Structure 1
């Protein structure tokens, strides 16, 4: 009887043990989340084993067995740890080197796992914001010391546009060390240059900015159209002025260093004495322009005037032909077309005006093309006359004859403005046409409208 009970207990014990508990499967795995490392770092890469018969060993990419730490082996070594659920053997690498890159193997008996370690050196740019000045006609080199491993991808940009050497080989040359050479410098090369450096394998990005200026002789341009005058030897421009009115003739230049200006009245093709009256010639402090103020009292003021802009790099001049011109007619209809908290929109028409049809100026000086309007807005103050002298002016251009809507701003919200408008052409301006007052909307009105819109939206969704 006792023998039978013992047999039953033995059979029950055998049946209660699962096969996987009797014969557990050995396993081995490397627990590295990342295998991309930077030069100089200290890294530990763990290899974990369970139910192993043989010990865990690490092997270098060259196949060398990595031993435990010792006085002779204190940079690359292994440690052994025993946990409740297995054995943990970390590979420790101090001051990791580029030469440490490659396939490292964790092995136990017939089990093994391989991890590729990528060791890189992130690019470090010593000076990331540089100001540089070149000289017209010469070359300049912009450096980008992008030294790193893996070799980075370097791209140069000028004013946010990528520079492609193959597109402009006569202007740009990118050297093997990523230096950008700009040849035959001129004023158009002034700008912001950015060297963008990327190492995709290291998820690393950095950049260097170079602010380039160029010393060059004056470049004359039209301040209204922003068009640069051609490089013809004799630069000229037709100017129209109204009798018994004041005409401002503007001479504008781009130059480095800033230029000085001289104005001359020309007679029979020759310069007279320089015009130096400070009430007649006004030059901006930054040297960007000089204005000749002509008070056309009679026909003798018409004729030729030469402006010369000069700096240490050279001199350029232009001759303005001042001709009799017609005073434009004022608008014949102006009305308020729209208003918000910061702007007013007006409908402005002029039935007697000639508008552009491809030519900026009408061929008839007595009836010049209307190029736009001037709107002046003065805040209304109860009990005070209109202060037109202190009121800002808004110049608007007529881009299409059929477009009569013009918006001005920014303005103060909830404010009543006195309004007047006049027409302008190449010779000057018409008389002012005063129109009805206009008012910008209040913030409260906008808020009320917004709340009403929200309520309507909610009601629509409910019903």
Structure 2
């Protein structure tokens, strides 16, 4: 009996150990991770590469299957072959298969499979011949108004697809401005970007991106870019206009005259002081030019002799010359507005049109509005502005500058609807405040009517008692009809 028990125990133990080994082997088929290198997602064509797949049991037969489904042969003379390998393990040697590429090809991209009788495991491989840009200029210069075709030539495998960007934005083929095309020559694909009727705004950085995508694996893609700087030749232009600039300055303050220019090639600057019809050139030591050559400026201390003087900035390159005049005037307290009118109104705001005489508006740096309800005043002569509310606005808070009328539009907000107000305005700058304008009376509009919201008609809900009563009377009525009908038939028969 004891012998039978021992035999039974040994058999069960053997089966358990066998099951454990089989379970362990079934779950431990492994492939070494693919390491393309830092910042890369592909292998370069031509290199030698091997990938180890390790089985989980000493009895496993490990083999590799290529992306087409064929078993890779163990023929060392082939470009792609499998080597048998064993990995040392506890009390046994675990079989493994080494997939060897003597030199990688783009066609090797795809999903490779390692398998045993009980287990399979996939690994994706990406192999590319990365893009190389050839005969592609990094900088192109052309005259304003001309057309230009930028070229970008890329070679690689798989054949790249080319797209264009301008200052980081994708360029869409346009019949009016841009035309994109591609041609193939001995060097590879050549992308062409034609830009018609060049304007100053067309200058900038144009990027050519070459995108490669393997037909064997959707995840096997990469891209490479090259930038082309497009310079457009044009004469200097003042970015803030060529009109004479009147510069107001207080006594004994420093004043800086700034000449802002857009040009290519970069311009040279000269400054002159106007002495009647004669120009007296300032020395170069008095002229300051920024590093990017887009701004030149000179500085003076404002005194009595400087007020009324005019200076001229001249910017020149090989395509032209421009000049701008600066007139220096003493900054004084602004004049009072000559007119204040209502330009527009709503139920809660008034837009004022404020006008000054001739060039007095040039010295305005802001405004203050005083306003109060007319109901607080019995007569115009008794206006007490100490009870008024105030709104102060800087020049950049004005609705708009109306240079043709020598004034500005300013909105007075947060008013009551259908209300009459007294309003007056004064101007300000760094030198002080002007006198007040003559007061005007203004009335806001009535508040717009709010449309009534349609009310839902309530749905009556009858109680069960009402339903029962309705059914009762309905049956009673139907019964009465039947009685009358049968009675009529009976009478007819008798007749």
Aligned pair in 2 of structure 1 residues 127, 282: CA closer, same or farther (>3 Å)? Answer: farther
Identify which of 90, 105, 110 aligns with 2:98. 90
Q: Which residue of 2 aligns with 1:328?
A: 332
Identify which of 177, 200, 213 aligns with 2:231. 213
Residues 210 and 224, structure 2, Cα contact 8 Å, conserved in 1 = yes
1:371 aligns with 2:365: yes
Q: Which residue of 2 aligns with 1:14?
A: 11
Residues 165 and 207, structure 2, Cα contact 8 Å, conserved in 1 = yes
TM-score normalized with structure 1 length = 0.52
- Which structure 2 residues correspond to residues 154-303 of structure 1 after superposition, within 5 A? 156-159=164-167, 161-166=168-173, 170-176=176-182, 177-195=190-208, 201=219, 206-222=224-240, 229=241, 236-237=243-244, 239=246, 252-257=260-265, 258-259=267-268, 275-278=279-282, 286=293, 288-289=295-296
CA distances 1:340-383 after superposition (whole Å, capped 9, x unpaired)? xxxxxxxxxxx9899xx9999955424643338xxxxxxxxxxx
Q: Which residue of 1 aligns with 2:141?
A: 133
Which entry has the higher C-alpha Rg, 1 or 2? 2
Residues 259 and 309, structure 1, Cα contact 8 Å, conserved in 2 = yes
Range that drifts further, 110-119 or 122-131: 122-131
Alignment root-mean-square deviation, CA: 5.6
Superposed displacement of residue 162, structure 1? 1.1
Q: Which residue of 1 aligns with 2:55?
A: 49
Residues 31 and 121, structure 2, Cα contact 8 Å, conserved in 1 = no
Distance in 1 (alpha carbons) for counterparts of 2:53 and 2:236: 71
Distance in 2 (alpha carbons) for counterparts of 1:363 and 1:193: 51
Superposed displacement of residue 97, structure 1? 0.7
Higher helix share: 2
Residues 136 and 215, structure 1, Cα contact 8 Å, conserved in 2 = yes
Identify which of 33, 38, 44 aligns with 1:39. 44
Range that drifts further, 81-90 or 184-193: 184-193
Please state whether the residue corresponding to 2:226 is helix, strand or coil: strand
Range that drifts further, 207-216 or 193-202: 193-202
Identify which of 65, 70, 83 aligns with 1:79. 83
Distance in 2 (alpha carbons) for counterparts of 1:131 and 1:363: 54
Please state whether the residue corresponding to 2:332 is helix, strand or coil: coil
What count of residue pairs does the alignment treat as equivalent?
336
Residues 235 and 317, structure 2, Cα contact 8 Å, conserved in 1 = yes
Residues 280 and 292, structure 1, Cα contact 8 Å, conserved in 2 = no
Identify which of 296, 312, 318 aligns with 1:312. 318
Aligned pair in 2 of structure 1 residues 108, 290: CA closer, same or farther (>3 Å)? Answer: closer
Superposed displacement of residue 96, structure 1? 1.0
